[in-house]
Amino acid sequence: MSRSPVWHPFTQHGLEPPMKRIVSAEGAFLTDEDGNRLFDAISSWWVITHGHRHPAIMAAIRAATETFDQVIFAEFSHEPAETLARGLIELAPAGLSHVFYSDSGSTAVEVALKMALGYFHNCGEKRDRIVVLEHGYHGDTIGTMSTGERGVFNAAYEPLLFGVDRLAFPEAGNGQHTLDMFESFCRSGRIAALLIEPLVLGAGGMKMYNPHVLAGLREIAKLHGCLLIADEVMTGWGRTGSLFACEQAGISPDILCTSKGLTGGSLPLAATLCSAAIFEAHFSTDRRKTFFHSSSYTANPIACAAAVANLDVWRDEPVMQRIGQLQQALSVNLKRFAHYRRFTDVRQMGTIAALDLAVPAGGYLAEAGPRMRYLFRDRGFVIRPLGNVLYLMPPYCSTLEDIAHAFDAIDEVTGIVTETA
């Protein structure tokens, strides 16, 4: 067989074997070209919420294709986008009143950054600094790389990146230091926005922090007149145990970014929600105050129809009950590792379970990561460690048996890896 011309994401093709093709997906499982059934324990990079090919969402997609393909959104609107926007505003934290569509989590955050800077520019106030949390990850476009942790992910692109102010991650018992740092940054009067992943840092290592810290950051931002941008791309749609993670801190951000689970994982779509004040700062008879952002596929009607169907699933099905059962299953199984010497920082928030494997060389490039991934695949699991950080983020349709088997695999695979490390 000739080598595939496809260049895969986050893949070193000089080290990886040829990619297996997936031929079907259903519920919590993928089936590859050899007939192997694989438990999708990471929801295909955190996007699949209810399970692959949820019948209601698939039906909505099929129905939308009978009427729509793409419609230029700078010139027209359409019913799926209007219905979705109203539904999102109804579900989101209070105070968010306008919805701007884009295509991915990264673009949703880019939109948020431009909204924040545009807001102060149009108000005639010189605020041009962005504050972020260390270890954060917000995407792979230029703006989101600039706001993410610097390192192997973006070293080659350093000349393109802009500077930001970074807060220390609020380790357990040290949240006040993070709050004090933010207060210090805000005193400059230059801070436009704090961009933050609420409660859980995803690609940064599934790092988790207390909701009280998030609430404190919100209060400081309000006090100093800067905006809070909540990057809920990964944490939204039930992943932390509530619909949006911000709810657990009792806060409403000025801007909220959502994608991944927005369509239940079926099609790419993103939305950036903002307050009325931000919209009004761009509302003018002066065309220079226009929000200058778009993409060719903004508010694709078929993707919007899938998202509307996802909202219906949340309304009509016992999704929170399923999340509660999944949380409990993860918690019960995670306890077995609490006293294993091979693991550190065994942790959980909502439907996210994570633990660090103690190996001589950790970090994202830890050799243990790819090795574990291959061993998991051989045993019928899609589990993709972040270096030496193992995590599960399964679909909400996963059974107790599925979860127990995944933890059995973690026990076995990490035992093999640590014995030979």
User: What is the pLDDT at residue 226?
Assistant: 98
List the beta bridge partners of residue 389: 356, 386
Which of the pair, 174 or 354, is modelled with greater confidence? 354
Q: Is residue 332 part of a domain?
A: yes
Same domain as 254, residue 121: yes
Instruction: Give the range of the structural domain holding residue 325, as residue numbers without chain letter.
Output: 318-420
Q: Is residue 239 part of a domain?
A: yes
177-185 mean pLDDT: 98
Count of C-beta atoms within a 10 Å radius of residue 377? 16
> 67 and 59 in contact (C-beta within 8 Å)?
no
Check: pTM over 0.95? Answer yes or no: yes
Q: Is residue 241 part of a domain?
A: yes
- Give residue 41's pLDDT band: very low, low, confident or very high (50, 70, 90): very high
Does 421 have pLDDT greater than 70? no
User: What is the pLDDT at residue 152?
Assistant: 87
Same domain as 241, residue 96: yes
Same domain as 143, residue 66: yes
Same domain as 302, residue 210: yes
Does 247 have pLDDT greater than 80? yes
| Residue 156 exposed, middle or buried by CB count within 10 Å (0-12, 13-18, 19+) | exposed
C-alpha distances in Å from residue 105, one per residue of 47, 110, 119, 213, 280 = 11, 9, 21, 24, 24
DSSP string, 25-57: EEBTEEEETT--EEEETTHHHHT-SS-BT-HHH
Tens digit of pLDDT for each residue in 216-244? 999 999 999 999 999 999 999 999 999 99
Name, in order, each residue with C-beta under 8 angstroms of 117's C-beta and a sequence gap of 6 or more.
Answer: 127, 128, 192
> 366 and 14 in contact (C-beta within 8 Å)?
no
Same domain as 140, residue 76: yes
Q: Is residue 341 part of a domain?
A: yes
User: What is the pLDDT at residue 153?
Assistant: 87
List the beta bridge partners of residue 273: 99, 256
The SS3 assignment for 69 reads: coil
Same domain as 378, residue 263: no
Same domain as 323, residue 198: no
Q: Which of 316, 331, 359 is the last residue of a domain?
A: 316
CATH number of the domain at 236, please. 3.40.640.10
- Give residue 362's pLDDT band: very low, low, confident or very high (50, 70, 90): confident
Q: Is residue 26 part of a domain?
A: no
The SS3 assignment for 187 reads: coil
Q: Which of 316, 346, 367 is the last residue of a domain?
A: 316
Q: Which of 316, 339, 359 is the last residue of a domain?
A: 316
Q: CA–CA separation, 243 vs 380, rounded Å?
A: 30
**How many domains does the chain divide into?**
2
**By percentage, how much of the chain surpasses pLDDT 90?**
95
Backbone angles phi, psi at 48, to 5 degrees: -80, 115
The SS3 assignment for 381 reads: strand
